[in-house]
Amino acid sequence: MKKKDISAEQTKQVETLAGFGLKDDQIANVVGLAEATLQRRCREQLKRGRSRASAAVAQTAYRLATSGTCPAMTMFWMKCRAGWREADKMDVRVGPPAQGAVTLTIAAAPLTP
């Protein structure tokens, strides 16, 4: 069986559609290829399109998080990227461990109107 040529226009379209988040079967349907053929012959375009889209969204998230205008994105970024977490209580160790350090537990007070 002869391989069907994939045009430059089709490969560009594959990359673009992958970046938009379409699934492989949807992309294959749009460009007129079998899904297996798409996955085998356009592997790099699929990866590149998805990676570029993720990079663009990450760049936007970073800009929002560092702009000072979107506190929600700043908190999201700090929780996801910097390991911050919300806690109901916090343990604080006082003194060197060898001398039997004291651990204090500080509970968060409920917010009242």
Within-domain flag for 25: yes
Within-domain flag for 1: no
Number of folded domains that form the chain: 1
Within-domain flag for 108: no
The range of the structural domain enclosing residue 37 comes to 8-67
Within-domain flag for 102: no
Tell me the DSSP string of the chain: -PPPP--HHHHHHHHHHHHTT--HHHHHHHHT--HHHHHHHSHHHHHHHHHHHHHHHHHHHHHHHHHSS-HHHHHHHHHHHS-----SEEEEEES-GGG--EEEEEEPPPP--
Place 113 in a pLDDT band, splitting at 50, 70 and 90.
very low
Per-residue pLDDT of 54-102, as tens digits, reads: 999 999 999 999 999 999 999 999 889 888 877 666 666 666 666 666 6
Within-domain flag for 13: yes
| pTM reported for the whole predicted model | 0.68
